[in-house]
Amino acid sequence: MKWIKDENLQFKKFGIKNEEEVVDIGINGKMNEIQASIGLLNLKLYKEEQLKRMKIKKLYIDLLKDIENIVIPKMPENSSDSFQYFPIVIEDSFPLSRDQIYEKLKKYNIFTRKYFYPLCSDYETYKNLESSSKFNLPVANDIKYKVLCLPYYGNLNFETVIQICDILKDFSNISSEV
């Protein structure tokens, strides 16, 4: 079938080409009936997963709160946490950039996610719109280089969380000339 070309499959993946490149408008059109039924079964595990993640979040917060220039975003009042991600913000004054931390953590088999990167306004489809101008989005264009989501899932053991936080503490002591 002609429409099943590699580049057209991106339509079903939000227009995402790879980890850092979104080339077109897309949809999340990948779920079939079997996947939906598995999703319904997983809803039965939701509360247990949420409780596990609450404990992991508390441990992350306790271990990271005193590291200078790493900020743990706070939930706004009158909102609730989905416990989907554990984001941290790497301030400019931290000795390593978010991208340097991302790469260095891979060497420890710790896989994080750059969040809000790239921005939708950076996508080829939108970047020429006036509303996508960096002038119109100064905060978003700043934060897109700072947010890093740490590993976060119910079966993540506390020892691994401690290891991740210890590594980040070590990074905080690296000379900024590195």
pLDDT mean across residues, the chain = 89
pLDDT exceeds cutoff 90 at 1: no
Mean pLDDT over 114-132 rounds to 91
pLDDT digits (tens, 9 = 90+) for 36-89: 999 999 999 999 999 999 999 999 999 999 999 999 999 899 999 999 999 999
pLDDT digits (tens, 9 = 90+) for 144-158: 999 999 999 999 999
Separation between Cα atoms, residue 55 and residue 130, nearest integer Å: 43
Q: What is the pLDDT of residue 174?
A: 87
Confidence of residue 177 (pLDDT cuts 50, 70, 90): very low
Mean pLDDT over 2-28 rounds to 64
Q: What is the pLDDT of residue 18?
A: 79
Q: What is the pLDDT of residue 125?
A: 86
